[in-house]
Amino acid sequence: MKVLVLAPSAYLLGGVQDWLANLVPGLRAGGLDVTVAVPDGDHHRHGPYARAYPALAAQPLTNPSGSAEGRIRAIATLLERLDPQLVLGVNLVDLYPAVQRARRRRRFHGRVVMTLHALQTEYFDDLRRHGAGIDAVIATNQLACRLASERGGMTPSRVLYAPYGVPVQPWRPPDGDPATTLKLAWVGRLEQAQKRVHDLPLLLRELQTLAINVELSIAGDGEERPALERSLAPWIEGRKVRLLGHVDQHRLADEIYGHHHALVITSAWETGPIVAWQAMASGMAVVSSRYVGSGLEGALEHDVTALLFPCGDGAAAATQLARLRQPQLLERLSRAGHALVAGRYSEGASLEAWRQALVQAMALPPLAAGPPEPTPAPAGRLDRWLGQRRGEDLRQLLGQRFRHGSAGSEWPHSGGAGDGAAEAELLAAAGRLDHPDDPHG
């Protein structure tokens, strides 16, 4: 089967990038003919992406004008040239109108699948807007599957599940005596809305109150790093906290996973996270918020495979971490988490789930005739004078090109950006679905 994957190239860090870097070689080894294409421009740059992920052998996708019409043309041209049997879209919304165009010309005959990696309003809005032309959604989280139907309007039979996967080594106990020094790690993007990175200073103060000697390693980078450095200054100066910046997968394995007692997760929502499965695979315990996305997934069970606390509750988090000073509890959680990942979230289990999901997507009944291709907003005077198609023809003929201020403007991930109120409403509704017995969910 010939498969085309379209993904952003502006981001070299993160769980989605790691997932794709592991998935594609596995699919190729199983006999699929997989082509990966990524944008090449000012913010989305093919060269650095190709060097970061050489196994993907990604092809560049260029938009000479920088306009929305230019993006749609570039994707439609690629679809028509390759005519793959299956297309996987990874956060590039212009794929869907391009598919409609290529199908209308009868130059693309394959199936198109949205891969869903986030619990954000913009992606469910995209499903409602483009869903009549999308054959299936594959989500990495059970709650995301529910929301794809209930919020995105997808027929449940067209919503499929395939989790992230990680390598799993033989179990070994965490290093060091937790009763003497409790060694903790936090791994992720340094931002607040989802990851709640500013919960960490509160957690450290609560641990101080309990007179627990801790060392915390923070691996990651992001826009909140300067503010976090300021709030953690007393602990950094006291050598109780290390801010490591970006740490690649090799260093994570060498310095973080298996070298700390527990991974701390403070997130508001997740569709994994891969870092939890990686930590468990190394023998570390996980102490996590009851983030939205953890309930229906059923992997993190309190006092069974992990220790859980209400999101944002530093005192409760510190109380759970204090329990890890009991070596027997730490070992029990370590073994249970390792067994969970080995059975459900190993590279092999994940790859098989994705293979099965692709087979299911191909076996679905064909879609009815899709909706008319949406017309992008005029990109400038040429479009207003001549219409988008002719305006784009002239723009490319004259070599005119728009310059974008951000990666999300150059090649948008979605058709819109959810506002704060809409995101809060989604998170609250998703929490009720995910944790129906939690009065605070």
φ/ψ bin of 419: left (φ > 0), alpha (ψ from -120 to 50), beta (otherwise): beta
Which fold does the domain 182-344 belong to in CATH? Rossmann fold (3.40.50)
Interval 43-48 mean pLDDT: 96
Helix (H, G, I), strand (E, B) or coil at 16: helix
Instruction: Indicate whether 205 pLDDT > 70.
Output: yes
- pLDDT value for 14: 82
Tell me the pLDDT band of 418, cut-offs 50, 70 and 90. low
Instruction: Indicate whether 439 pLDDT > 60.
Output: no
Interval 382-405 mean pLDDT: 70
Interval 36-57 mean pLDDT: 96
In whole angstroms, give the CA distance from residue 441 to residue 92. Answer: 31
Instruction: Indicate whether 231 pLDDT > 90.
Output: yes
In whole angstroms, give the CA distance from residue 185 to residue 217. Answer: 5
Q: Which is more confident, 73 or 388?
A: 73
Interval 390-410 mean pLDDT: 76
In whole angstroms, give the CA distance from residue 278 to residue 120. Answer: 24
Tell me the pLDDT band of 382, cut-offs 50, 70 and 90. low
- pLDDT value for 180: 95
- pLDDT value for 383: 65
Question: Tokens 């199936």 — which residue?
Answer: 111
Instruction: Indicate whether 160 pLDDT > 80.
Output: yes
In whole angstroms, give the CA distance from residue 199 to residue 391. Answer: 50
Q: How much is the mean pLDDT over the chain?
A: 92
CA distances from 179 to 28, 205, 284, 303, 330 (A): 47, 18, 15, 19, 11
> What strands, in cross-sheet order, belong to the sheet with 86-89?
59-62, 33-40, 2-6, 86-89, 111-116, 136-139, 159-161
- pLDDT value for 244: 96
Domains of the chain: which residue ranges? 2-165+351-424, 182-344
In whole angstroms, give the CA distance from residue 300 to residue 386. Answer: 57
pTM: 0.91
Q: Tens of pLDDT along 307-353?
A: 999 999 999 999 999 999 999 999 999 999 999 999 999 999 999 99
φ/ψ bin of 239: left (φ > 0), alpha (ψ from -120 to 50), beta (otherwise): left
The structure tokens listed for 323 are: 């329990």
CATH architecture of 2-165+351-424: 3-Layer(aba) Sandwich (3.40)
Q: Which is more confident, 6 or 401?
A: 6
- pLDDT value for 13: 77
Tell me the pLDDT band of 441, cut-offs 50, 70 and 90. very low
Q: Tens of pLDDT along 130-159?
A: 999 999 999 999 999 999 999 999 999 999
